[in-house]
Structures are given as C-alpha cells and as structure tokens.
Chain A
Amino acid sequence: EIVLTQSPGTLSLSPGERATLSCRASQSVSSSNLVWYQQRPGQAPRLLIYGASSRATGIPDRFSGSGSGTDFTLTISRLETEDFAVYYCQLYDSSFSYTFGQGTKLEIK
C-alpha cells in the first residue's frame, strides 16, 4: 500500500505570500493519478488539481501543481483570504483504491 505524506502539517502565511505544499509518496507513482483538493471549514472537499498539474474547472491560475515520481507540490502564488483551508493530496491506485494524504492546514499568520 502506497502512503502519502504531506508536509508541513500546518503552514502559517500572510495574504499575498506564496505557499508551497508538499506531498510525498512512499514509492514512485504515475503523475496522472495524483490529485489535490481544498477543504474549507465546514465544507466538502473541492477538486483543485488533477494529473499532478492540470487545474480543475473554475480553479484560479494562482493554483499550480507539479512533480513526478515520489514528490509532488501544490503552489499558491499569491494567497487570498479564501485560500486559507486544509489541502489534501490523493492518489488513485490502479487496483481501484484511493489514498489520501493526512492534509496540510494553511492558516493566516
């Protein structure tokens, strides 16, 4: 079973700053199967990035994803107040199972 480890656990930044969130897989994975979600307090998750680097419909271009192999990154170029939330990476295992990372909480400094 592949494990996804996200870091840091909590990231404290100010609006306007750049955020860099990491997701590391315990073994090499296909970037096609790596996804990022945003979850605001009291809300359901929202799809942000799929295929490691493709933005989902309606997602602002300040959100970008990158990476390959075992190391993936979600970058938010200029933080806005609505971006402070919890972010999860997710992997699709071709044996039809889905694994989530433990999440990174992005909080206002």
Chain B
Amino acid sequence: EVQLLESGGDLVQPGGSLRLSCAASGFTFSTFAIAWVRQAPEKGLEWVSIISGSGGIIYYADSVKGRFTISRDNSKNTVYLQMDNLRAEDTAVYYCAKGKASTRFDYWGQGTLVTVSS
C-alpha cells in the first residue's frame, strides 16, 4: 500500500524558515517524482515544486522560486522542502504527492499545516 506522510509543519514568524519532510512507503521510491502541493485556508490547490526520482530534475512555481528548496534522500525514502524567508501568503496545508507519468499525482499524503504569522 502506497503511503506518504508529511511532517514538520509549524507556526513560524515572517522571514523565518521551516523544513518539511515527506516519508514514503509501498512503492519503489527512487523511480518516481514527488511533488509538493499547497492549499491556503479555504482556497484551492497550488503546485509548489517537484523533484524527479533521481533528484536530478527539479522545478519550482514562480511564487516560491529562490526561497524554497526541494531535495530527496532515496536511502531514507524521504523528500524534503526547505522553506526560507517565509511570508504570510505561504500559510497553507502542504501536501506531498507521488508523480505518475509526469502529468498527474496518483497518491497524496494527508498534509501538514504551515502557519506564517507574528
């Protein structure tokens, strides 16, 4: 059974940093891309970043480019999202999702809440 479990969400002040983790199981981790998708309170879904199975290909949404860094440790079946210089508008539930055929996300975690507020 495919499982994705996010952790690391917290309350942080504007300008602060946070690192999210996504621990995966139930599939051959190193062969699939993993993405982060966020959802602000009472809002829709917004893609944040994606990393290929090998970690060699990485993309970011313009809204986080230069502030967020995605990485993965295939020996630990875990993907990370380092978030720096956080802003109030980064407040959201952050989901990690398993990529499929480049076009879609076929399994999602339950999300972790990040709140940026003073």
Q: How far is the CA of A51 from the CA of B104 in the complex (A)?
A: 9
- Is A102 interfacial (CB-CB < 8 Å)? yes
Number of A-B residue pairs, CB cutoff 8 Å, is 57
B residues with CB within 8 A of A: 35, 37, 44-47, 50, 57, 59, 61, 95, 97, 100-111
A56 near B106: Cβ-Cβ < 8 Å: yes
**CB neighbours of B97 from chain A (8 A):** 45
- Is A101 interfacial (CB-CB < 8 Å)? yes
A interface size (C-beta, 8 A): 25
Contact A97 B59, CB 8 Å, known A35-B103, A92-B102, A92-B103 = yes
Contact A103 B103, CB 8 Å, known A44-B109, A96-B50, A98-B35 = no
- Is A72 interfacial (CB-CB < 8 Å)? no
Contact A96 B59, CB 8 Å, known A45-B108, A46-B108, A88-B44 = yes
A102 near B44: Cβ-Cβ < 8 Å: yes
**CB neighbours of A96 from chain B (8 A):** 50, 57, 59, 102
- Is A73 interfacial (CB-CB < 8 Å)? no
Q: How far is the CA of A96 from the CA of B46 in the complex (A)?
A: 14
